[in-house]
Structure 1
Amino acid sequence: MPIRVMLVDDQELLRTGFRMVLQSQGDIEITAEAGDGQQALDVLRTAEVDVILMDVRMPRLDGVQATRRICLDEHGAPLEHAPRVLILTTFDLDEYAFAALKAGASGFLLKDVPPVELVAAIRSVHGGDAVVAPTTTRRMIDRFAEVLPTPSSTPGSPVLGPLTDREREVFLLVAQGLSNGEIAARLVLSEATVKTHVGRILAKLGLRDRVQAVVLAYENGLVRAGETP
């Protein structure tokens, strides 16, 4: 089945550009469009969508609020079958993009993203990965550390209670921006084993992807901005 994509942006010209790029791909289908967050929520009631390209700054309901309603339940827990959301930003490390990641988005893209990267990002997110590279994730979190609550937890925090000792090690390295390969080298494990650990960590902590794991770690003081791996 093709990947069903929804375009959400108040600029019709930009939606047209994305549509032209994506419709040329045999495995991607544009199934819905919307001009703002509220319209996106309305359209999603009947449209079948796997991945949403979501602008941030829109009238009526912005992309952050729309993403939160799409990805999280009323208690802030990830919704199991929600579409994946990719945030579209004008500037790298836009503070609104960071807020959207906290709201459940799986990554962000610049609006001038090259077509090949746009297509790759959609496929990656549809496959269950985040599109923010580990190094970019770290830079993003460091940039916006001031908006996070004052850390009050320690590595022994109940937040990590469900994890085994090895999973805690892996979690903290993920939070510091290391890739699976780098974690494997650090802990003398195979990359496949690290990938298995990461999957179990996300499942146990109710997280959708690595980006959410990084945000959780910083919010709970398990990693500090500027801390080197």
Structure 2
Amino acid sequence: MTSMASIDPAPPTEVNGLIDRRVVVVDDHQLLSESLALALSVQGYDVRRVPVPAHSGAPAALVTAILRVRPRVVLLDLELGAFGDGNRLIEPLARADVRVVVMTGSPDRARWGRAVLAGARKVVSKARPLSELTSVVRRANQGLGLMDAAEREELLGAWHTRLVENDDIDRRLAQLSRRESAVLGQLMAGLSVRDIAARGVVSEATVRTQVKAVLTKLGVSTQLAAVSVANRASWHPPTEQAS
């Protein structure tokens, strides 16, 4: 038998001799959350849907709303619309002894690893059958292990690799000069070399030289790749550097 790497769970809460089957679904996609709630309800679970705020903000209020329901299991999406990254909810929920199961449409294994590091017991792709999600909920509710050591190590390794890559990207971005940072910011905004030259009242040849310097310092060969690198690092040029 494969050894399980998940933390030993607390025993399920019992009420009148029955295991507590309360599940909270946190997902801003109404169709999926309704389908999950219906499928789990048919299996005898007490399913609650906690609304996701339609604006960005600190996670504390949403965590409080979830814990008020006193769930055994939380099914959590990572993409919560305007509210932002669902990863921010995992650690405080896990500290409250809630078994968090992440469901996501993202194929980014590094992001999955970040969720596991924060305390998620399992990450399941939304592309998987609904029956697989409900099976994971059943195992989580019963206090069973959800992830073997190999899967856990692979996901955590992907997140560690991403952190190393991000450190390298940050170092490269820090090498950009004031003008190069401004040019990269304008490329990210969708401006062409001609547009950037017109805004800066300089020649297109000058801008192309600056773009070439940006590509060299970032270690990429195209403007699209440079923009992708900056976006992945959530980088923005300082406002005072914009032209």
TM range (shorter): 0.5 to 0.7
The match for 1:118 is 133
Q: Which consecutive unaligned segments of at least 5 residues does structure 1 have? A: 72-78, 150-229
> 1:101 offset after TM fit, Å?
1.2
> 1:121 offset after TM fit, Å?
0.7
Mapping for residues 76-155 of structure 1, pairs under 5 Å: 79=95, 81-147=96-162
Residue type at the aligned position of 1:139? E
The match for 2:194 is none
The match for 1:171 is none
The match for 2:74 is 52
CA distance in 2, matches of 1:141, 1:85: 17
Q: Give 4+ residue runs of structure 1 displaced > 6 Å after superposition.
A: none
**Deviations 1:142-187 (Å, cap 9, x if unpaired)?**
43331357xxxxxxxxxxxxxxxxxxxxxxxxxxxxxxxxxxxxxx
Cα distance change of structure 1 residues 138 and 55 upon mapping to structure 2, 3 Å threshold: same
The structure where helix makes up a greater share of residues is 2
Select 1:3's aligned residue among 21, 24, 30: 21
Alpha-carbon contact 1:56-1:96 (below 8 Å) kept: no
**Deviations 1:64-102 (Å, cap 9, x if unpaired)?**
11112222xxxxxxx3x5211011111345332211211
Tell me the number of residue pairs that the alignment of Structure 1 and Structure 2 aligns: 141
The match for 2:7 is none
> 1:30 offset after TM fit, Å?
0.1
The match for 2:46 is 29
Bigger radius of gyration, 1 or 2? 2
**Deviations 1:115-137 (Å, cap 9, x if unpaired)?**
33212211222233342344433
The match for 1:204 is none
SS of aligned partner of 1:144: helix
CA distance in 2, matches of 1:139, 1:127: 25
SS of aligned partner of 2:83: coil
Select 1:17's aligned residue among 35, 39, 57: 35
Residue type at the aligned position of 1:115? L
Alpha-carbon contact 1:31-1:48 (below 8 Å) kept: no
> 1:38 offset after TM fit, Å?
5.7
CA distance in 2, matches of 1:142, 1:135: 10
CA distance in 1, matches of 2:158, 2:110: 9
RMSD (Å), alpha carbons: 2.6
The two structures have a TM-score, normalised by structure 2, of: 0.50
Alpha-carbon contact 2:77-2:102 (below 8 Å) kept: yes
CA distance in 1, matches of 2:79, 2:129: 21
The two structures have a TM-score, normalised by structure 1, of: 0.53
Alpha-carbon contact 2:33-2:49 (below 8 Å) kept: no
SS of aligned partner of 2:131: helix
Identity, % of aligned positions: 21
Residue type at the aligned position of 2:32? L
Alpha-carbon contact 1:68-1:103 (below 8 Å) kept: yes
Alpha-carbon contact 1:7-1:52 (below 8 Å) kept: yes
SS of aligned partner of 1:34: coil
